[in-house]
Structures are given as C-alpha cells and as structure tokens.
Amino acid sequence: MSSSTLCIHNAKVVTPGGIADGGVLAADGRIVALLRSADKAAADTVIDARDRMLFAGFVDAHVHIRDPGQLQKEDFASGSTAAAIGGVTTVMCMPNTTPPIDSVAGFDLARRAGERASYVDFALQAAVHPQNEHAMASLWDAGAVSFETMLADGPPGESYTNCTALQQMLANAVKLGAQVGIYCGNQAVVDASLTRLRAAGRTDFLAFAESRPPESELLGLKLLIEARRKTAARVIARQVSTAQGFQIVTVAKSEAPRDSFRVEVTPHHLHLDVAVLTRLGPYAQMLPPLRSAADVLAAQHAAASGTIDFIGSDHAPHAVAEKNPNDPWASPSGTPGLDTLAVAALDLAARQIISYPKVAELLAEHPAQVFGLADRKGRIALGADADLVLVDGRAPFHVTVDAIRSRAARSPFEGIVLRGRPILTVLRGGVIAEDGKFVAKQPAGRFLPRSLVIAT
C-alpha cells in the first residue's frame, strides 16, 4: 500500500504474550524493526503513541459484505470504511452474496468487487451445500479460506439436516485439506417453534428469540461433533451462544486432535441479553438470537478460559427500511458488527472480564492462524504486514446511529457506552483511519488467498 516508512513509538505493545513498552518501524508495507521502550526510528511519518496500546490490525473472520448483488445493504466501500474506523484491517467475507460464492464464477465476482472497492484487505469464504459439493475442489484451489454451511435456517435445500450427508461433505473437505465453518441448529425444532408461535399470534420480538431455543443449538452441535469425530475433519462451530453449548464444545475440544475443533463467539452474545429485543426490536434481531443473562456470562467465561478461539462480528447488515418494527417474521435477521467488534472486546478488557493480551489473541492472532493467513496477518512481528491499531483504552465509545458507518446504521449496541476505542488504523504501513475519521484516499485492499500451508 505504501512505499514510505512509518514509525510508531512510545507505545504499550499488546500481543497474546503480554504488554511491553516499545513500537514498530514499517517500510514497504511490512514491519522491519521492533522498537524497545521509548526508542524512536527515523521515518517519513513518526507517531508518538503516548503510552496508548498498539495491537496488530484486527481480523474479522465473519463478515457479510453483501457485494455483489445486495448493495442497498452494504458494499465493499461502505463495509470496509466501517472496518477501518473500527480497527479491522482484514475481513473474511461470507458467501451469501448474489450470486452466492458457491461456484468459481461467484467467487471471481466477489473477488473483483473487493479488489475494486475495498479499503481493507479481504479473504473469501465459500459456501458448501448438498447441491454444490462437486465445486469444492475448484473453490478451494481458487483460494477460499474456508467452506461455510448451515444445519438450520439456510436457504431451502441447502442445510445439512442429517449426519450421513454432513459426514460425506466433511469427508470431501478432509481430502482437500479444507476446514468447514458450521452454523449449528436443528431445523425440525425451529419449524415446530415457528408453527407454535405463529399459531398463537405472537408478533413480539421476544417470540423471535423463542423461535430458536437453546435446544436447537445443542442438537446442531451434537450433530456436528458426531460427524467431525467420524471424519476427523477440521471444523469451526460458528456463533455458539448458550451456556450448554459452551459446555458441549469444551468437552469436544478436549477430545479432538489439537486445533481440529474451533469455536467462534460474537460480540453481541458476549454483551447483550434477550431483554435488548424489547428495546430495539428488529435492530437486535439476529441468528442465533440474543440469549439469557446467564448465557452471556457463560460466553464471557468461555472467552476468558480458552474455550473460544476467536471473536467474529457476524456483521450482517440490512437497510433500515428493510427492517419491520412490527413483525419479526417479516423482518430480516442480522445486524451490523464491524463498527463495534473491537470496542466490544476492548470494553470486556476494560472491565477485566478478559485481558488485553486476550483481545490480541481473539481478534488478531488466532483468526489469522485459523484461516491460514498467519504468515502476514494478526501479528506484530518482523516481516508481517504493517497492519496496526492504536487504541485508547480509556476513551468512551457512545454507540449511536451517527457512530455507525455501516449502511445498516442501527446497532444492537445502540444506546450503550463502551470503554476503549481505536484511534489510529494502519493498513500495510499507511494510515487509513484516525480519531474516528476515515482518511484513506483510495481503495487499496488486497485479496488474500489462503496460504498453501495452514498453521495447525
């Protein structure tokens, strides 16, 4: 991105290993020196961090950009702007675009859209479902960082609802050396719940939460665990949200080979309980739904204890006009998350629920490792891309409509003050956001194909 040199000094450098005084020198987009204490190096741009925290650029492994095909919701320009201001320098895009990323043609359309308009670096995740398993090899060769599928709530005919079919798909992934991210639910439970609630005339948003009860997630997780055990596949349990779910995956991880079973949690499930639905209605409607206060505490414990491998925003924007404040069954599920991914995690650290080194692990190092990008992303290390985020841990972030740069505008965190926010975002040595303002002059995001060797 930049052929100039950049020095950030007098920082508290935060890595998964701890916090140390120091800084970095970047040249030609890479980190070329690690500075000690208050050392300063000559450079074209020199930034005094003034003891603020310096992290590797955050990596969001769960982003629905909606480009191509659904631009009224989000496109690469608007989504990557929100990412940059929020301290996210790499996004991994989910495949439910129009057309979907379930063929090489769809993959290439999404890649070209990102190369034209993204202000941050991006990777692509490919869909797999019973109708496109024949395309898995070509999609993997194209550079997909994962395959993504659903056990419930997917488009008609595209969810894996029985163990035999799921095993066959996972066996195909094993042959390729690929990993699969899986949204866990049980369609029979969801359908029965929807029938009951609609028959009762329920149109309140708490009914939406009841339509995907914890039982659905638990049955989905058990199906995933059984199929993984029989195939030895590498899998990611996406968006785990319930206390019992965290118990199940903790045991499953202890029984699985190292790094073959990963677990994701979202920021909203780490912070917000189901009561928020009564206040914000459709703007707090997502899948899986918000859960109980006890489930939130369980998610926080799982993040602190090591059960969780990374936090993904599940940035799933919809235009405000598409949300129906009077009927959850007529309102699309999904909320923006790129703006609040980092501040939500930093707030947990400010409240000592997790540590700042844990933030560096869950938002940078681990997602880069899991998705085969650790050679360049997620680390403050010699030779790594100079993707950097300077954080003021004391600064408040008031979540308002004006603070959200995504086209979706309405956040489930709306009305909440979170503590800690990015004040400088650097992509490959060039400043792209500063003091909450977007300063990049032109899109410079690069497509990131999966590395040939995935860290395990």
Q: How far apart are CA 263 and CA 215, in angstroms?
A: 18
**Strand pairing category for 5-15 and 45-48:** parallel
Q: How far apart are CA 239 and CA 423, in angstroms?
A: 28
DSSP designation for 408: T
Q: How far apart are CA 427 and CA 271, in angstroms?
A: 28
Q: How far apart are CA 310 and CA 61, in angstroms?
A: 8
Residue 231 phi, psi (nearest 5): -115, -15
Contact between residue 307 and residue 279 where contact means Cβ atoms under 8 Å apart: no
Closest CA to 443 of 122, 4, 120, 71: 120
| pLDDT digit string, tens, across residues 52-62 | 999 999 999 99
**Strand pairing category for 147-150 and 18-27:** unpaired
Contact between residue 76 and residue 106 where contact means Cβ atoms under 8 Å apart: no
Write the CB contacts of 182 (distance below 8 Å, at least 6 apart in sequence). Answer: 148, 149, 150, 151, 220, 224, 235, 236, 237, 238
Percentage, residues of the chain above pLDDT 70: 98
**Residues marked as catalytic:** 314
Neighbours of 456 (CB within 10 A): 12
Averaged confidence pLDDT in the chain: 96
Give the pLDDT band of residue 456 (cuts 50, 70, 90). Answer: very low
Residue 347 phi, psi (nearest 5): -65, -40
Give the pLDDT band of residue 235 (cuts 50, 70, 90). Answer: very high
- Give residue 450's pLDDT: 85
Residue range 229-254: mean pLDDT, rounded: 97
Angle at 441 between CA 8 and CA 423, to 5 degrees: 40
Q: Any idea how long the chain is?
A: 456
| pLDDT digit string, tens, across residues 351-409 | 999 999 999 999 999 999 999 999 999 999 999 999 999 999 999 999 999 999 999 99
Q: Which amino acid appears at position 303 of this protein?
A: A
Evaluate whether 5-54+384-438 and 57-370 have a shared fold: no
Percentage, residues of the chain above pLDDT 90: 96
Peptide bond into 99 cis (omega under 30): yes
Contact between residue 1 and residue 429 where contact means Cβ atoms under 8 Å apart: yes
End-to-end CA distance of the chain: 29
pLDDT at 451 exceeding the cut of 80? no
- DSSP string covering 190-230: HHHHHHHHHHTT--SHHHHHHHS-HHHHHHHHHHHHHHHHH
- DSSP string covering 269-301: HHH-BTTHHHHHGGGG--SSPPB-HHHHHHHHH
Q: How far apart are CA 427 and CA 419, in angstroms?
A: 24
| pLDDT digit string, tens, across residues 111-148 | 999 999 999 999 999 999 999 999 999 999 999 999 99
- Give residue 308's pLDDT: 98
- Give residue 2's pLDDT: 54
| pLDDT digit string, tens, across residues 243-252 | 999 999 999 9
Estimate to the nearest angstrom the gap between the alpha carbon of 299 and the chain centroid. Answer: 16
List the domain boundaries for the chain.
Answer: 5-54+384-438, 57-370
Q: How far apart are CA 15 and CA 404, in angstroms?
A: 27
Give the pLDDT band of residue 37 (cuts 50, 70, 90). Answer: confident
Contact between residue 385 and residue 45 where contact means Cβ atoms under 8 Å apart: no
CATH of domain 5-54+384-438: 2.30.40.10
CATH of domain 57-370: 3.20.20.140
Instruction: Indicate left, alpha or beta for 149 from its phi (over 0: left) and psi (-120 to 50: alpha).
Output: beta
Residue range 53-79: mean pLDDT, rounded: 98
- Give residue 301's pLDDT: 98
- Give residue 175's pLDDT: 98
| pLDDT digit string, tens, across residues 150-209 | 999 999 999 999 999 999 999 999 999 999 999 999 999 999 999 999 999 999 999 999
pLDDT at 452 exceeding the cut of 70? no
Q: How far apart are CA 444 and CA 76, in angstroms?
A: 12
Angle at 188 between CA 134 and CA 234, to 5 degrees: 40
Beta-bridge partners for 289? none
Q: How far apart are CA 453 and CA 444, in angstroms?
A: 25
